[in-house]
Amino acid sequence: MLELAAAAMMAGAMNAVAGGGTLVTFPTLILVGTGAEVANATSTLALVLGTGGSIFGYREHLGAIRWWLARFWLVSAVGGLIGAVLLTRTNDAVFAKMVPFLILFATLLFMAQNAFRRFADKKVETARGGPRAMAAAMAFQFAVAVYGGFFGAGIGILMLASLGFLGMKNIHEMNVLKTVLGSLINAVATVWFIRAGLLDWGKAGIMTAGALVGYYLTARYAQRIPQRRVRQLISVIGFGISGVMFYKQFVK
């Protein structure tokens, strides 16, 4: 219980500062004996409430993203549901072998976060893109949502890149939009996981409480934390966990 609570607190703190919390909660659940698919579903539930709560901090920007939200919410919800369904249709042993690759991919995405943000923050000629750009962005968002429903780590980084390509200029508005869409994807996936009976409710309760504490405390004191060091630590953790998972699945 203490290990799960501590991991969730760390994940909540990581997400409040830089993202990447799934890289801690998911492997921790596996290390305490949870099956891969149940661990993925339980981790999603544990973090979705905290992620949704972070929207409150961006509430002054909600009005500015309504135009974008109207175009992306449906593909996000449908994609998240399809991803969750795919997970429940995947054999647990097969998914377990995919885990090292998924964690490695998520870690690489996390390391590229600053590059994506710089790209997203560039000004382009149009604020909302042309019809072709919008269609391409919606297709990309659908693919991100499917990945998010299936595993989920790194979807915010992918969305920032897409929104930057469309020409969004305000990074705070981009953050709240990707947070709302990410919460929607995870919420839809969680509903399906509940229906499929994949959740470990006891562990989910412990980790949800821990994650909320981590989100709250870090939201209050995040300005005192050197974010560069936090990002470096998360990257090291991600590569370390990926290496351990590769060893357990393919060497041991």
Q: Is the pTM of this model over 0.85?
A: no
N- to C-terminal Cα separation, the chain: 27
Phi, psi dihedral angles at 239 (to 5 degrees) = -65, -40
Distance CA 11, CA 211 (A): 6
- Reduced to 3 states (helix: H, G, I; strand: E, B; else coil), residue 169 is coil
Of 47 and 209, the structure prediction assigns the larger pLDDT to: 209
Please choose, from the candidates 166, 190, 192, 193, the residue with its C-alpha nearest in 3D space to the C-alpha of residue 177: 166
Most confident of 3-7, 157-161, 169-173: 3-7
What pLDDT score was predicted for residue 112? 72
**For residues 149-157, average pLDDT:** 78
Please choose, from the candidates 170, 192, 212, the residue with its C-alpha nearest in 3D space to the C-alpha of residue 9: 212
What pLDDT score was predicted for residue 52? 60
Q: How far is CA 109 from CA 88, 117, 120, 132, in A?
A: 25, 12, 15, 26
- Indicate the pLDDT class of residue 129, thresholds 50, 70 and 90: low
**Token pair of 174 as six digits:** 């981009």
Task: Read off the pLDDT of residues 57-93 as tens digits, 9 standing for 90 and up.
Answer: 666 767 878 888 888 999 999 999 999 999 899 887 8
Task: Spell out the residues 6+ positions from residue 179 whose beta carbon is closer than 8 angstroms to its own.
Answer: 51, 54, 55, 58, 156
- Specify burial of residue 6 (Cβ count, 10 A radius: 0-12, 13-18, 19+): middle
Output the CA torsion sign for 225, 40, 185, 108: positive
H/E stretch holding 5: helix 2-17
Name the residue range of residue 19's domain: 2-250
Q: Domain count for the chain, please give it.
A: 1
Task: Read off the pLDDT of residues 182-211 as tens digits, 9 standing for 90 and up.
Answer: 888 989 999 999 999 989 999 999 998 888
**Helices marked H in the chain:** 2-17, 22-31, 36-53, 66-88, 92-111, 113-121, 131-150, 155-166, 171-196, 201-221, 227-250
Q: Which of the residue ranges 9-13, 28-32, 210-214, 235-239 would you say has the lowest mean pLDDT?
A: 235-239
Distance CA 58, CA 44 (A): 22
**How far is CA 188 from its chain centroid?**
13
What pLDDT score was predicted for residue 221? 60
Q: How far is CA 140 from CA 7, 56, 145, 166, 234, in A?
A: 31, 27, 9, 12, 26
pLDDT at residue 177 is higher than 80: yes
